[in-house]
């Protein structure tokens, strides 16, 4: 009975189980290809005109970051997640490549992209090159 391959598979599964869950996920949209999403599968957006505050928040929701944790991307996705303190309430907001992340209230189903405007953009999932 070959035990070495079974041990290798068991060790690999243990490493995967120990890895932290990604902070954001990847969803396949009909219009924009693969994009970053929140844990519920809702598309993430960035805003060209600075932080979304005041009445802007009627339709957009900041993606809050859990304090004390390091944000992580799914394996194979390029880029950098970070956090910043929101200017209005000082809560931690998730960022991608330095840009604050938001969801759109009009996206009621996972991977919808109803929030695209000239100033609001989906966050494409950039895959790392494979060897």
Average pLDDT, the chain: 86
pLDDT of amino acid 6 = 37
Token pair listed for 22: 């990604």
Place of tokens 């304090």: 67
What pLDDT, on a 0 to 100 scale, did the predictor assign at position 68? 81
pLDDT in tens, 13-71: 444 445 567 899 999 999 999 999 999 999 999 999 989 999 999 999 999 988 788 89
Residues 13, 128, 116, 112, CA torsion sign: negative
Integer Cα distance of 71 and 81 in angstroms? 6
Instruction: Judge contact between 111 and 22, C-beta under 8 A.
Output: no
pTM, rounded to two decimals: 0.82
- Looking only at Cα atoms, what is the longest distance across the chain? 66
């Amino acid at each position: 009975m070959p035990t070495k391959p079974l041990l290798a598979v068991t060790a690999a599964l243990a490493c995967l189980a120990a890895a932290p869950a990604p902070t954001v996920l990847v969803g396949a949209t009909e219009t924009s290809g693969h994009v970053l999403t929140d844990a519920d599968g809702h598309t993430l957006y960035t805003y060209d005109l600075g932080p979304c505050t005041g009445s802007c928040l009627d339709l957009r929701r900041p993606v809050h970051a859990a304090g004390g944790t390091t944000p992580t991307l799914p394996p194979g996705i390029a880029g950098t997640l970070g956090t910043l303190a929101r200017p209005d309430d000082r809560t931690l907001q998730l960022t991608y490549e330095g840009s604050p992340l938001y969801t759109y209230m009009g996206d009621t189903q996972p991977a919808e992209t109803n929030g695209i405007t000239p100033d609001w953009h989906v966050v494409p999932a950039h895959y790392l090159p494979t060897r």
